[in-house]
Amino acid sequence: MPIKKMQDLDLTGKTVVIREDLNVPMKEGVITNDKRIRASLPTIRTALEKGAGVVLLSHLGRPTEGQYDEQFSLKPVAARLSELLEKPVRLAATLEEAKAAPGEVTLLENVRFLAGEKKNDSALAAKLAGLGDVYVMDAFGAAHRAHASTEGAVRAAGVACAGPLLQAELAAFAKVLDNPARPLAAIIGGSKVSTKLALLENLLEKVDMLIVGGGIANTFLAAAGYMVGKSLYEEELVPDAKRIMEQAKTLNRDFPLPVDVVTAEELAPGQKVTTSAVGDMPADQMILDIGRETLQQYKKLLSKAATVVWNGPVGAFETDPFGQGTKDLAQYLAESNAFVVVGGGDSVAAVEKYGLSEKMGYISTGGGASLELLEGKVLPSVAALEAKG
């Protein structure tokens, strides 16, 4: 069933409650990256332009539910929103204070300070929905959580709709999963196969080529019979890795493994590195990046792709000198003619680190939500919006 869109509704004189994902990283009360705040601005501005008053909802961090905790307060977020919107954004400490006349913006304090948020309490959901005339779900980064402010309030609201950011996220992943331009490639990195097993299995049914990187690739190398030294890998999942490689063969999917690797004695800055073929790596070292030959192999394969989804780096890019493979891969994808969707916190962080965000097809704001979509799951908030029609 089609989901209502905020921009299609008459909001004149109404109070619009918008659930955003303003869960930004902070250090000692200072926002260190305001990307999620900036991503919410078009939705807020659209509601204001349509003559509405706006009440914003968001969580921040993981406080003890039902208890106020200064370190998880949204005060810095309200201040930053005020700067970016160039108008006052009032922070409401309680539900009773969460009101906004047309043209005004109010941010309710961290919804996780409210008892029942994470348990999707129906009474709390009804109170949140009752803060306005229209409930807008725009927090893609929290759309996989069935919480009172993300799923329950959508169902409780008289009128519920999707905001522009949520719509854009769903459209980008539909472009990858529903009817992609082919060939379709997926690059899945990260440390553990166990966290992405369902993802790999689902993607094999959909993609034409699947590249694994990081610690995930180490488990597959072990499954292929290579010694991986002191590398991070999951021995207990070697049988699963073998099964997935056999599945790739059966489905005739390209499933390349690294042919050379960058290794060091430990994951620490300034280490002396060695590059060797996968069959010749030193037993006392650990794999921390892909080598040049592997990168060239991946580039050759990806040159055929019309659509690419990238979730997770191919090496320990946060620590020099183990980021070269991820950097070179990111630069190649940025210059590619393929439609590239970057999802997942670490791969997004890598793209931002190398200044390549503007050159990608789409940068997702939600790591967990994007993973669940790629796994073939229905997001609770989206299901609730579809049910509202």
Residues tagged active-site: 36, 192, 345, 368
d(CA 335, CA 302): 12
What is the C-alpha to C-alpha distance for residues 234 and 226, in angstroms, rounded to an integer? 14
Q: Are the C-beta atoms of 154 and 137 separated by less than 8 Å?
A: yes
Cα within 13 Å of Cα(306), Cβ side: 8
Which amino acid would we find at residue 215? G
**Strand bridging mode 307-311 / 184-188:** parallel
* Strands of the 339-342 sheet, one edge to the other: 209-212, 184-188, 307-311, 339-342, 362-363
Instruction: Report which of 128, 122, 65, 125 is spatially closest to residue 96, judged by C-alpha positions.
Output: 128
> What is the gyration radius of the CA atoms in the chain, in angstroms?
23
282 upstream amide cis, omega within 30 of 0: no
CA 202 to chain centre: 18
Q: Which residues contact 234 (CB under 8 A, 6 or more apart)?
A: 192, 193, 194, 215, 219
